[in-house]
Amino acid sequence: MTSQSSTKLLDELNQVQLAIELIELGARLQVLESEVALNRGRLVRLYKEVAGKSPPKGMLPFSTDWFLTWMPNIHASFFYTIYDRFHNQQGLERMQAFIKAYRMYQEHLRGTGSEEVLALTRAWTLVRFFESDMFQLSTCTSCKLNFVNHAHTPDSDYVCGVCQPPSRAGKPLIKDCEKSVKEAQVSR
């Protein structure tokens, strides 16, 4: 076996492993097709084998507005801050950082008993929106944490949804968010 053919085999194995990890985390087929260098037929067969069912059909989320609503913004901001730390500050490769950040996000939710708001496909879409310069992180003038915001938005007086929640937000939910913000400030 030549060095070149063994490298090709290792590359293919790495792509299969990446696809398996993404499927286990809930990736849709469109995410796999964008991120994994395997043909569609192989991805469908792999999806069926790993998930035990055919991949769901339908379009991916495409609106930036969902990420700016109150609870999704908090979750998106939390996830993206983790991703950014792994990818840009620690230098992990993009998908490696993405998977690690998403697992950490899920682990945090399990640890706090919180509901998962940000599915893997939405998290992936969020990263793509940042890469397309559709989003920026804006620092809250009150808690000093970063939150997802439309790109090129003046943010010198930005106040996040935790510090200034909408009137419809329930008090127990606000208390949970405030607690998470305090924990995030301590871990900085």
d(CA 32, CA 20): 10
Alpha-carbon distances of 81 from 51, 97, 108, 158, rounded to whole Å: 29, 11, 13, 17
Query: Residue 22's closest CA among 6, 4, 37?
Result: 37
Residue 53 corresponds to which tokens in the numbers above? 């069912």
Residues 77 and 122: their CA atoms lie apart, in Å, by: 12
What is 85-144 written as a DSSP string? IIIIIS---HHHHHHHHHHHHHHHHHHHTPPP-S-HHHHHHHHHHHHTTSEEEEE-TTT-
Q: Is 177 annotated as a binding residue?
A: no
Consult the annotation and say whether 143 binds a ligand. yes
Handedness of CA 63, 65, 68, 69 (dihedral sign): negative
- Phi, psi (5° rounding) for residue 93? -60, 150
Q: Which residues are annotated as a binding site for Zn(2+)?
A: 140, 143, 160, 163
Binding residues: 140, 143, 160, 163
